[in-house]
Amino acid sequence: MHGFIGGESHDGYVVGARQGQVLTVRLSWRREGDNRASLAVSESPDFYTGEPVEFGTEYNNGKRWVGRIPRTGDYYIYVVAHPSAHYTLYVSIG
């Protein structure tokens, strides 16, 4: 998925996964000055009140996240940037 995000906003994506599957998320963005993008994985459809999941591990300064799904359901991936970024999000479930 490709997108542009900035300011006080966020982009959200939902993926369905089954217990035992491995979810891998990678984020890259176009460097423009000192901009920064980051991702979070949550079980909550509400970005503002949801907490990041307690499983999984971040790699490469938060640009990659890998976790084994503990229970079947929907998982939400949120992308934020400061001050803004053109980004690409890669998601795989296996």
Q: Residue 56's pLDDT is what?
A: 97
- Give per-residue pLDDT as tens, 1-44: 999 998 878 999 999 999 999 999 999 999 999 999 999 999 99
Single pTM value for the model: 0.93
Please state the domain extents for the chain: 2-93
Task: From the options 3.20.20.450, 3.10.180.10, 2.60.120.380, 3.30.420.40, give the CATH code of 2-93.
Answer: 2.60.120.380
- Give per-residue pLDDT as tens, 55-68: 999 999 889 999 99
Q: In what side-by-side order are the strands of the sheet with 73-82?
A: 11-17, 73-82, 36-42
Average pLDDT of span 62-79: 97
Q: Are 29 and 86 in contact (CB under 8 A)?
A: yes
Q: Residue 38's pLDDT is what?
A: 94
Q: Residue 69's pLDDT is what?
A: 98
Q: Could you tell me the CA-to-CA distances from 24 to 17, 21, 27, 32, 35 in Å, in that order?
A: 11, 10, 10, 26, 24
